[in-house]
Amino acid sequence: MSWNTAKKRFQRDIESLPTRLREYYQRELNARYTLPTFEGAQLPTIPAPKRKTNVQKGIAPGDLVYITEGEKKGTVTSVFHYNPSNDAVLVANVTEKRITPKTTWVDNQNSHYVDYPKYIPHSSVKLAGKDRDDSGKVSYVVADEIVLKDKYYDDRYRSWLPRRFVKHHDTIEIPWPNPPTAFEDDSLSTPELAVLEKTYELQTIAKPPFPKAALDQLRNPYSRHKKRVLSELQARRLNSPEMPLSTEQKIYLAKQANKPKKVYTNLSEEIKDFIGDKIAQHVNSIKEPAMLAHLEALSKSTIPDFKKTMENIKENEKTQ
Amino acid sequence: MSMRIPVRTLSSCVANLARAKKLSFGDLSKVQLREPIVPTHKNFDVSPDHPLWAFFPEGNKSESALRGSDEVELNSREWTFPELRRKSFEDLHRLWYLTLKERNILAREVRLAEALRYSRTQQHEALDEKLVTVQKRIKQVLLERQVAYERVQTFTEQQQAYLAEFEERYLNAGADEIVSYNEKLVRLQYALFGIQPQLQDYNLEEDINIKFVNGLSYVSNLKLKRYLDRNPNVAKTFELPLNGVVEELPFLLRGVDEAVEEVQALRESGENVKLDKIQVFPFLRSALANAIEQEQQEFQ
């Protein structure tokens, strides 16, 4: 959180690296700073933006799950904890033998070598529901996948929760389990009456909703999006660089500059007659009606260059 | 700069500073040793009012400087948007600082834990995340209100249409309805122009603005129109329109009958000057301040 930002500036942020590099550094860190006997977490960490809470994953402490992989494959146990940073669950009866350093010993521990709870990936468990029929026989329903739908207020959790259904079986709902410890009011809780008391009502649109000085705290007046001036870097990005000219290009441009400016004038009557004669001669020689129709259509199309030339002629006449 | 100091001066200093009597410890065998003072925090008192107690979860009654992870209270949830939307700015402001105070306590504890190499602060961070969410939501709620306020300022056409419609209804209201219509008008003038219903609620610096002047002219003309419709005798002699805020203000402060009389008296005495734009706000401020003072005197 916010309290150790200064320290983080000088750390390598592993989470921002590409997956491969991240794994590499993780392995290196584990190898360098932990003794081989005290192995750290082996499951890869998930970058913070991709993490999901246990509610989003549809799993909660107290749930029954069916283990699909590993030593305890095929058994149904209950969940203790879901770890969002590894997407892993801690379930009952799944442990591993570990050598623990003395600093982590708990009460009544006599040996370094203990059964230690083992995190297993969330992908290797499936949510199970317990069902008891009329004769008292217990059966389990294992959901291959679950979907979260709707929302309802769960008083046990004191929050809004989605409902969990077995995928493609909208009638089979797996309710959320009872929370391991009941939620009770603590010193940070606000009494219900105080929360529900309404102290704001819009009475006037002529006055701002809060003092003017508070607005700067809500909107950053120095935001870079509000700046009307581009920085040098931004300006460079927007404009393409000026390319240097080759020697040939320079010679060509110098020649062009020396040439007299082209003057546009109207065609003389003689030339007009000559062109007209030529075209008439050609058109009269054509016998095919389709070709004539084609030429007729072609004569109606306008050429932008022709328009430009006519404008140039007009300008030229004006200047003269 | 030279550092030459006359030798004579130094020697006189030495003579002055010299002890008249030689320093001695007396009889050392009679000196009694006291108990050594152990350097511990128990040897000094901290005032129970010390402001830094605010950085401890239970103030000056705190037993330890660092809560264990099981002592951090994680049972309560964040304030939701609908809950925060019901709260006034003052409440949200207070809530913001209460949240900030809790966050400061947590930050201090985590910092201490770092120094002590105590790494189990996940619960502290989880609680801090909840508090951060509350702060973000408070900001969001306030911004929603600000955006709504800014947008509604552009709805001038709708406001004008509503005012015209209200004017028609007000003028056509019967004698039995006019009391409720006057109450409506009080609400309307606060809603659209920010004219306070009670004199003592005025903040003269902020409330007297261009909207107030517009509202004053709307309200006074509305009341006068109705009055002249009902009293044709007065309408014959009364010249329209009202000449600026000096003639409009009486309609806000007093009943219509009294206001009309006052305006007529003003006109006869020639005091109904049309103010320049720059004079309008100072005039309204001083006139309202006088009215407030008068009301207070009457109340006492």
* pLDDT tens column, A268-315: 999 999 999 999 999 999 999 999 999 999 988 888 888 899 999 999
Question: Is residue B7 scored above 60 in pLDDT?
Answer: no
Among the residues of chain B, which ranges form H helices?
7-17, 81-85, 89-115, 122-152, 156-172, 178-193, 204-207, 210-230, 232-237, 244-253, 256-269, 277-299
Question: Is residue A65 scored above 90 in pLDDT?
Answer: yes
Distance from CA of B110 to the nearest CA of A (A): 8
Q: Do B96 and B193 belong together in one domain?
A: no
Residues of B in contact with A217 (CB under 8 A): 139
Residue A126, strand partner residues? A66
Q: Do B103 and B183 belong together in one domain?
A: no
Distance from CA of B142 to the nearest CA of A (A): 8
In a domain, B3, yes or no: no
| Contact check, Cβ <8 Å, A218/B91 | no
A14: pLDDT confidence band, cut at 50, 70 and 90?
Answer: confident
Residues of A in contact with B76 (CB under 8 A): 185-186, 188-190
Residues of A in contact with B91 (CB under 8 A): 199-200
**How many CB pairs lie under 8 A apart between chains A and B?**
92
The Cα–Cα gap between B188 and B197 comes to 10
DSSP A129-158: EEEE-TT--EEEEE-SSEEEEEEEEETTTT
Model pLDDT, residue B114: 87
Model pLDDT, residue B205: 86
The Cα–Cα gap between B300 and B283 comes to 26
Higher pLDDT, B94 or A131: B94
Question: Is residue B206 scored above 70 in pLDDT?
Answer: yes
Question: Is residue B231 scored above 90 in pLDDT?
Answer: no
Q: Do B51 and B122 belong together in one domain?
A: yes
In a domain, B9, yes or no: no
Higher pLDDT, A133 or A279: A279
Among the partner-chain residues B73, B111, B149, the one whose CB lies closest to the CB of A188 is: B73
pLDDT tens digit sequence for B65-78:
899 988 999 888 89
Kindly report which listed range (A64-78, A264-278, A297-311, B156-170) carries the lowest average pLDDT score.
A297-311
Question: Is residue A112 scored above 70 in pLDDT?
Answer: yes
pTM above 0.80, yes or no: no
Q: Do B183 and B279 belong together in one domain?
A: yes
Which of B114, B133, B152 is where one domain is finished?
Answer: B152
A29: pLDDT confidence band, cut at 50, 70 and 90?
Answer: confident
Question: Is residue B36 scored above 90 in pLDDT?
Answer: no
Q: Do B283 and B167 belong together in one domain?
A: yes
Q: Which of B67, B89, B96 to mutate to test the interface with A (most CBs of A within 10 A)?
A: B89
In chain A, DSSP finds a helix count (H) and a strand count (E) of 10, 9
Q: Do B67 and B90 belong together in one domain?
A: yes
Model pLDDT, residue B251: 87
Model pLDDT, residue B10: 63
Is there a cis peptide before residue A101, judged by omega within 30 degrees of 0? Answer: no
Which of B123, B152, B181 is where one domain is finished?
Answer: B152
Q: Which of B56, B70, B72, B77 to mutate to test the interface with A (most CBs of A within 10 A)?
A: B77
The SS3 of residue A95 is strand
Question: Is residue B6 scored above 60 in pLDDT?
Answer: no
Residue range B178-193: mean pLDDT, rounded: 92
For domain A8-173, give the CATH number: 2.30.30.30
Model pLDDT, residue A132: 86
Query: Chain A residues with CB-CB distance to B under 8 A?
Result: 1-4, 158-159, 183-190, 195-200, 203-211, 214-215, 217-219
Q: Do B166 and B271 belong together in one domain?
A: yes
Which of B118, B136, B152 is where one domain is finished?
Answer: B152
**What is the rounded average pLDDT for all residues in chain B?**
87
Listed in sequence order, the residues at least 6 apart from A178 whose beta carbon sits closer than 8 Å to its beta carbon are A62, A156
pLDDT tens digit sequence for A197-253:
999 999 999 999 999 999 999 999 888 888 888 889 988 899 988 899 999 999 999
Q: Do B148 and B161 belong together in one domain?
A: no
| Contact check, Cβ <8 Å, A218/B102 | no
Give CATH 2.30.30.30 domain extents, chain A. 8-173
Query: How many domains does chain B divide into?
Result: 2
Q: Which amino acid is at A145?
A: E
B51: pLDDT confidence band, cut at 50, 70 and 90?
Answer: very high
Q: Over the range A155-170, which residues count as b (16 or more CB within 10 Å of their CB) and which as e?
A: eebbeebbbbbbeeee
Kindly report which listed range (A42-51, A265-274, B159-168) carries the lowest average pLDDT score.
A42-51
Q: Do B280 and B161 belong together in one domain?
A: yes
Q: Do B172 and B265 belong together in one domain?
A: yes
Place of tokens 């932990």: A34
A83: pLDDT confidence band, cut at 50, 70 and 90?
Answer: very high
Residues of A in contact with B125 (CB under 8 A): 1
Among the partner-chain residues B76, B90, B149, the one whose CB lies closest to the CB of A205 is: B149
How many C-beta atoms lie closer than 10 Å to residue B56's C-beta?
17
Select from B65, B74, B72 the least CA-distant residue to B111. B65
Q: Do B162 and B198 belong together in one domain?
A: yes
Share of chain B above pLDDT 70, in %: 95
In a domain, B200, yes or no: yes
In a domain, B5, yes or no: no
| Contact check, Cβ <8 Å, B86/A198 | yes
Q: Which domain, by its residues, includes B163?
A: 156-299
Among the partner-chain residues A4, A158, A211, the one whose CB lies closest to the CB of B77 is: A158
A6: pLDDT confidence band, cut at 50, 70 and 90?
Answer: low
pLDDT tens digit sequence for A51-63:
999 999 999 999 9
Question: Is residue B189 scored above 80 in pLDDT?
Answer: yes
Question: Is residue A143 scored above 80 in pLDDT?
Answer: yes
